[in-house]
Amino acid sequence: MPRDLVAPRVANPLCQLSLEQLRRRTSLKWRTYPEDVLPLWVAEMDVPLAEPVAQAILDAVALGDTGYPTGRGYAEALAKFASERWDWDGLTLERTAIVPDVMLGIVEMLKLVSGPGDPVIVNSPVYPPFYQLLENLGRPIIEAPLGADDRLDPAVLQDAFEHAREDGSRPVYLLCSPHNPTGTVHTADELADVAALARTGGVRVVVDEIHAPIVAAGAIFVPYLSVPGSESGLSLMSASKAWNLAGLKAALAIAGPEAADDLERLPEAIGHPSHVGIIAHTAALRDGGDWLDSLLTGVDDNRRLLAHLLAEQLPAVRYAPGQATYLAWLDCRGLGLDDDPAAVFLERGRVALSSGIPFGTGGAGFVRLNLATSPTLLTEAVRRMAAALG
């Protein structure tokens, strides 16, 4: 169901930490660049932990509850969240498995349904680690670029699926939903078309749905496994992105009815991520809804603020606010900065953004900006970006 447009009951998490407090962090976002650089690149949020999550972690530490994970509490919490937020009651606990995180879960799903040399289709521009993990697995990559409107193109997908099947291999379609970096939310009809094309073409679908909880007001996330024809699909979900829990790793692999046997072949050792991570993710899904709603409102506000700032100070940059994620995909080709404008913004403006080049075909001349920061820092970042061109 679309998110209700009501005043949040929790203060905007994006406005609660100062730059001085953030610079005390030792995570990747805050330790990769010198202190004079504003880091708006990697997908970490400038927020405190949601109170229910922090309390769950503190309780676990007080008990010394830091052993091996067990049980289905995480899956139960996600199933309830999916029912309430997405009107989806098809998350069957018996067809879930705990995995260390979404990316390692994708690796294991690919191992279950394909082998070395089997091609994998991706929609470029797309999350750069997709390319890295596929190369490490020995899976040839076939790009099926998004359309000019940043949406899935059925004709392009069909051509890619046919190409992938030419040598009799076992191809896989690795779908990013919602899409990173464009923030595209695939519709139920688009996903049903994907399922039909994949079934006809003999292509298995593995879908990364890590950004599913982070949708703009009025947007509707549709789980891939909820659409007709998706029965052989495999999904990866996590509370990681929505509650800023990347350092507390945990995720769930979810199988459609026809993929249950595949999931049962997952090695037992894979199902031992961080027990504290699972406690944190479960608390987020069960009790972190008010915090999430406030965050989503803050991200909506930042989308509008960024559009205003760019129109005012960098009008040659094209930006269409995404329907999901807290990431902004900026077309900087009109600035005349060649293929890697992120390098210019870093060197001249001291703002760290993600270069579009590693996102594959369609990424040259683009940058990805992380909106999950305070309006103050976002405003300063755009000011620096504009000054870099002076």
Query: Please, are residues 208 and 175 in contact by the beta-carbon 8 Å criterion?
Result: yes
Residue 325 DSSP label: S
Going by pLDDT thresholds of 50, 70 and 90, the confidence category of residue 390 is confident
Q: What average pLDDT does this structure show over 232-245?
A: 98
Q: What average pLDDT does this structure show over 139-150?
A: 97
**DSSP H/E element including 352:** strand 351-352
Average of per-residue pLDDT values in the chain: 96
pLDDT over threshold 80, residue 168: no
d(CA 82, CA 222): 10
pTM for the full model? 0.96
What's residue 346's pLDDT?
98
Tell me: the pLDDT tens digits for 84-107? Answer: 999 999 999 999 999 999 999 999
Q: How many helices (H) and strands (E) does the chain have?
A: 13, 13
Tell me: the pLDDT tens digits for 251-304? Answer: 999 999 999 999 999 998 887 889 999 999 999 999 999 999 999 999 999 999
pLDDT over threshold 70, residue 1: no
Give the DSSP per-residue string, 209-235.
Answer: -TTTT-B-TT-----GGGSTT-TT-EE
